[in-house]
Amino acid sequence: STTENSDIKRNETELPMCFDEVPGDFGPVPVNKTEVELDWVEKLYPEIQLGGMYTPPNCTARHKVAIIIPFRDRQQHLAVFLRHMHPFLMMQQVEYGIFVVEQAGNSEFNRAKLMNVGFVESQKLKAGGWQCFIFHDIDLLPLDLRNMYSCPRQPRHMSASIDKFHFKLPYEDIFGGVSAMTLEQFTKVNGFSNKYWGWGGEDDDMFYRLKKVGYHIARYKMSIARYAMLDHKKSTANPKRYQLLSQTSKVFQKDGLSTLQYQVVKVTLNHLYTHILANIDEPS
Ligand code: NGS
Among 204, 230, 232, 243, the mutation site with the greatest number of ligand 1 atoms within 8 A of its Cβ is 204
For 68-87, write each residue's pLDDT tens digit: 999 999 999 999 999 999 99
Q: Kind of pairing, strands 95-103 and 274-279?
A: parallel
**For residue 231, how far is its CA from the centre of ligand 1 (angstroms)?**
16
For 105-114, write each residue's pLDDT tens digit: 999 999 999 9
Determine the pLDDT at residue 105.
95
SS3 247: helix
Task: Give the contacts of 66 (CB within 8 A, at least 6 positions apart).
Answer: 96, 97, 99, 118, 119, 122, 123, 126, 130, 132, 133, 134
**Region of poorest pLDDT, from 23-27, 98-102, 137-141, 242-246:** 23-27
Q: Which atom of ligand 1 is nearest to the CA of 203?
A: 8
> Ligand 1, atom 6: nearest CA belongs to which residue?
176
> Among positive and negative, which fits the CA dihedral 46, 49, 55, 57?
negative
- To the nearest 10°, report the CA torsion of 40, 103, 246, 241: 80
Establish whether residue 205 lines the binding site of ligand 1, counting it when its CB lies within 6 angstroms of any ligand atom: no
Establish whether residue 176 lines the binding site of ligand 1, counting it when its CB lies within 6 angstroms of any ligand atom: yes
Reported confidence tier of residue 234, pLDDT bands at 50, 70, 90: confident
For 140-173, write each residue's pLDDT tens digit: 999 999 999 999 999 999 999 999 999 999 999 9
Determine the pLDDT at residue 23.
83
Higher local confidence (pLDDT), 8 or 187: 187
pLDDT > 90: percent of the chain: 90
pLDDT at 22 over 70: yes
Compute the mean pLDDT over every residue in the chain, rounded to the nearest whole number: 94
The answer to whether the beta carbons of residues 97 and 52 sit under 8 Å apart is yes
pLDDT at 2 over 50: no
> Ligand 1, atom 12: nearest CA belongs to which residue?
201
Reported confidence tier of residue 13, pLDDT bands at 50, 70, 90: low
Reported confidence tier of residue 277, pLDDT bands at 50, 70, 90: very high
Determine the pLDDT at residue 25.
83
Q: Which atom of ligand 1 is nearest to the CA of 234?
A: 18
Determine the pLDDT at residue 3.
47
- ∠ CA 107-112-115, nearest 5°, is 105
The yes/no answer to whether this complex scores an ipTM above 0.85 is yes
- ∠ CA 250-256-258, nearest 5°, is 105
